[in-house]
Amino acid sequence: MKALILAAALAVAATPSLADPMLDLAKSKQCLDCHAVSGELTAPSFQAIAKEWRGVKNADIYLSMVVERGGTQHFGCNMMPGQGARSKLTEAEATALVGWILGMK
């Protein structure tokens, strides 16, 4: 019985947390309408963005402005957060979200 309890506890400990505040933020701000974490939708995945911008000087600043202000010129998505009924991000939210994205592998 102890072995079964220990095995169950180890399985739970090894499972990554399903609660990810940055993923929750991306969902709440409708980022996942066009972007996926991996795999392409209308716009590049977060992982593809991270790969493309890795090592680019000031990428975090530029991408934070893109996310915060929105625009139609990015990846063919015509409804970035700054437009229409999309949920606008604050500067702090945009910065945090971009940091999370750029940290992806």
Whether residue 30 is contained in a domain is answered as yes
Helices (H), the chain: 2-14, 21-28, 46-53, 59-69, 91-102
Whether residue 46 is contained in a domain is answered as yes
Whether residue 41 is contained in a domain is answered as yes
103 pLDDT higher than 60: yes
Q: Which of 18-27, 58-67, 79-88, 94-103 has the lowest mean pLDDT?
A: 79-88
Whether residue 8 is contained in a domain is answered as no
Report the domain count for the chain: 1
Whether residue 75 is contained in a domain is answered as yes
Residue with tokens 């969902």: 27
| pTM passes above 0.85 | no
CATH code: domain of residue 52: 1.10.760.10
Closest by Cα among 51, 3, 4, 43 to 26: 43
Whether residue 14 is contained in a domain is answered as no
Whether residue 11 is contained in a domain is answered as no
Q: Tens digit of pLDDT for each residue in 22-64?
A: 999 999 888 888 889 998 787 889 999 999 999 999 999 999 9
Question: Is-contact 67 98, C-beta < 8 A?
Answer: yes
Domain housing 73:
19-102
Whether residue 36 is contained in a domain is answered as yes
